[in-house]
């Protein structure tokens, strides 16, 4: 269980994240939605401790994540793998080596310096690439891959970290529709098959509602919605997106409201 208590991040006089309190059970697939500047990326960066909060705490079980330092902080970052919008691969290195970089925190510092990876590390990395249908490209330089292929390499790198949580920061923002589906399908399978908690910032409502068990809506740094997709109404979406509602996937609202109506009808029948 990941618990977030009153988490706030200020930049000067502006609160990018403002008093967020949440609990995320192990194994959930969560979509954080909202317009650009809502605080979504800042929240994820604090969960991974790439940014320190101005106030509040992050708790994982009995651990106060916000107090971790040194080796304990490195272990936390290993256990909460990050996937970024811009992939963050080393372009001149081949695909396999990029994935193996996810094993660095599992190895002794001396071994890291000489860049020697064990046979088990390589088997693990190849298996992750095969799982994402990228095994045939393991010797290719990362910079020669398409955007969708690079994101799958980034997911494979996250997998070999053996994380408990995957934090995906706008993982499909720069992808075309086909690669969007491939990447989201991969994250969905990892969540369901491995039981890894997945928390993903997503801009489009239709994608978020299709793949996520739970949506957390943010506006101006605050949580304004927290629930299953079918409970998201057009009024809440308008509050989340404002004039961007159409671009964010407002066509999905009719589907969401239809699901909500079906749920209500089913509840009435059960009562009867």
Helix axes 119-131, 147-160, angle to 10 degrees: 140
What are the structure tokens assigned to 260, written together?
Answer: 């909500």
Q: What are phi and psi of 45, to 5 degrees?
A: -65, -35
What 3-state class would DSSP assign to 272? coil
pLDDT at 110: 40
pLDDT at 49: 94
pLDDT at 251: 52
- Across 99-244, the runs of DSSP E, i.e. the strands, are 165-169, 197-202, 214-219, 222-227
Task: List, for residues 170-215, the tens digit of each pLDDT value.
Answer: 999 889 999 999 999 999 999 999 999 999 999 888 899 999 999 9
The residues that bridge with 202 in the sheet, in sequence order, are 33
Which residue segments constitute the domains of the chain, with CATH numbers given? 2-271 (3.40.50.300)
The residues that bridge with 95 in the sheet, in sequence order, are none
Q: pLDDT tens per residue, the chain (272 residues)? A: 899 999 999 998 899 999 999 999 999 999 999 988 899 999 999 999 999 999 999 999 889 999 999 999 999 999 999 999 888 899 999 999 999 999 887 655 444 444 578 889 999 999 999 999 999 999 999 999 999 999 999 999 999 999 999 999 999 988 999 999 999 999 999 999 999 999 999 988 889 999 999 999 999 999 999 999 999 888 888 878 775 445 555 555 555 555 445 544 554 555 44
What 3-state class would DSSP assign to 229? helix
pLDDT at 206: 87
Query: CA-CA distance, 220 to 38, in Å (whole number)?
Result: 5
* H or E stretch at 157: helix 147-160
């Amino acid at each position: 269980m990941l618990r977030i208590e009153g988490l706030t991040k200020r930049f000067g006089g502006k609160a990018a994240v403002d008093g967020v309190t949440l609990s995320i059970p192990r194994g959930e697939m969560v979509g954080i939605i909202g317009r650009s500047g809502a605080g979504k990326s800042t929240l994820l960066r604090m969960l991974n401790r790439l940014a320190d909060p101005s106030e509040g705490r992050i708790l994982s079980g009995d651990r106060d994540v916000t107090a971790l330092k040194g080796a304990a902080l490195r272990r936390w970052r290993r256990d909460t793998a990050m996937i970024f919008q811009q992939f963050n691969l080393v372009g001149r290195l081949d695909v396999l080596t990029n994935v193996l970089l996810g094993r660095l925190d599992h190895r002794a510092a001396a071994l890291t310096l000489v860049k020697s990876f064990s046979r088990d590390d390589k088997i693990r990395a190849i298996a992750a690439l095969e799982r994402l249908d990228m095994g045939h490209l393991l010797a290719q330089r990362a910079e020669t891959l398409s955007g969708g292929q690079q994101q799958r390499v980034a997911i494979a790198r996250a997998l070999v970290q053996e994380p408990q949580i995957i934090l995906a920061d706008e993982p499909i923002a720069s992808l075309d529709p086909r690669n969007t589906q491939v990447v989201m399908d991969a994250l969905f399978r990892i969540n369901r098959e491995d039981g890894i908690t997945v928390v993903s910032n997503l801009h489009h409502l239709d994608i978020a509602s299709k793949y996520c068990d739970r949506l957390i809506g943010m506006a101006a740094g605050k949580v304004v919605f927290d629930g299953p997709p079918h409970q998201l109404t057009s009024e809440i979406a308008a509050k989340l997106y404002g004039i961007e509602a159409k671009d964010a996937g407002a066509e999905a609202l009719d589907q969401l409201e239809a699901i909500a109506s079906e749920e209500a009808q089913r509840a009435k029948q059960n009562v009867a």
